[in-house]
């Protein structure tokens, strides 16, 4: 019998990409999304779609009454660091308060296998040392603080309630899967590779580098970029393991290699064989200097090897997607 999976935020970039893979693998997928930031055209045709807010108790209760789900994957939420600094209350409301209410409704109906999408930004800055899951958390911005708060809620709740959770801390996700069914489409994206590809395809006039005076090899911030196709596979493996072993865990999702803003720009320039226009701007408020994953825990446990861990591959994939959006 097909496993039934409930996905919040399934009209977004990562949510829709994971939904596509799960359906490809024969799972039964229901998507909940209010379409405030998600895009309906990215929802897989074979998914059942419910348009509603995750804290709408009446509607969520109806959905959970009509079908018994084996597991829920929670993607819904707000993700812009710059906006969170200006509107912290909004981020805590969407990423913590609404999510907490949703989980409480799920638990009331016995849906207690939970995968939570989180962020590497929950870690304390370590300056050039990859972050492991055991490292101290000390988020710098309201977005990351709101994600850590909902993480802690699940962990604490599991001590006296029957909950099996997997928390996945994403590093920087980019690219599109081979069939190019979904990808980053927000007009207000702050993702470096997305923005750089928009400049390369003439959608933006210039790329602003947010500071060039960090303590790194070229003065720009360093990030660990992971291809969306590898990230979706991480979700599939985590889902199967959680359903089989019912054991809670936290995993980093990255490759363990960092690239600076300049590294990304240079790689893109070599692909398009010309230089994109660049301007040095101010540092972003509460931005981390260095975010790179220690991936040993996930890789060792699942005996997993990524298939797309190459910066050029990631950027080429992102560029193809950007050109597709132009059509």
The yes-or-no answer on residue 143 being catalytic is yes
Report the alpha-carbon distance of residue 109 to residue 106 in Å, rounded.
5
Report the alpha-carbon distance of residue 4 to residue 111 in Å, rounded.
11
Confirm if 232 and 17 have CB atoms less than 8 A apart.
Answer: yes
Q: Tell me the residue ranges of DSSP E strands in 171-218.
A: 172-174, 207-210
One of 143, 165, 214, 251 is an active-site residue; which one? 143
Residue whose C-alpha is closest to residue 205's, from 195, 214, 215: 195
3-state secondary structure of 8: strand
Report the alpha-carbon distance of residue 166 to residue 302 in Å, rounded.
14
55 phi and psi angles, rounded to 5 deg:
-100, 15
Both tokens assigned to 249:
């865990």
Catalytic residues: 143
């Amino acid at each position: 019998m097909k496993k039934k999976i409930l996905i919040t935020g399934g009209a977004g970039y990562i949510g829709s990409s994971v939904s596509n893979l799960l359906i490809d693998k024969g799972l039964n997928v229901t998507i909940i999304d209010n379409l405030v930031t998600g895009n309906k055209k990215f929802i897989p045709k074979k998914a059942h779609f419910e348009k509603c807010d995750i804290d709408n108790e009446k509607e969520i209760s109806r959905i959970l009454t009509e079908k018994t789900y084996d597991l829920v994957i929670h993607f819904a939420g707000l993700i812009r660091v710059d906006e969170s600094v200006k509107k912290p209350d909004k981020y805590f409301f969407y990423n913590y308060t609404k999510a907490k209410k949703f989980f409480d409704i799920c638990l009331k109906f016995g849906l207690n296998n939970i995968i939570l999408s989180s962020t590497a930004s929950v870690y304390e800055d370590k300056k050039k040392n990859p972050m492991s899951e055991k490292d101290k958390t000390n988020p710098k911005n309201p977005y990351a603080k709101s994600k850590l708060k909902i993480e802690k809620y699940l962990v604490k709740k599991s001590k006296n309630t029957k909950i099996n959770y997997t928390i996945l801390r994403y590093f920087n996700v980019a690219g599109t899967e081979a069939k190019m069914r979904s990808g980053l489409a927000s007009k207000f994206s702050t993702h470096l590779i997305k923005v750089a590809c928009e400049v390369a395809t003439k959608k933006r006039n210039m790329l602003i580098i947010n500071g060039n005076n960090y303590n790194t090899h070229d003065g720009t911030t360093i990030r660990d970029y992971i291809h969306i196709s590898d990230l979706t596979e991480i979700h599939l493996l985590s889902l199967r393991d959680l359903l089989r072993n019912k054991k809670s865990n936290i995993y980093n999702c990255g490759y363990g290699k960092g690239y600076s803003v300049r590294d990304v720009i240079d790689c893109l320039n070599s692909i398009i064989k010309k230089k994109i226009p660049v301007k040095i701007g101010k540092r972003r408020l509460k931005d981390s200097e260095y975010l790179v994953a220690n991936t040993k825990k996930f890789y060792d446990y699942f005996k997993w090897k990524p298939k797309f861990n190459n910066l050029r591959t990631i950027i080429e994939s992102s560029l193809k997607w950007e050109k597709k959006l132009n059509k």
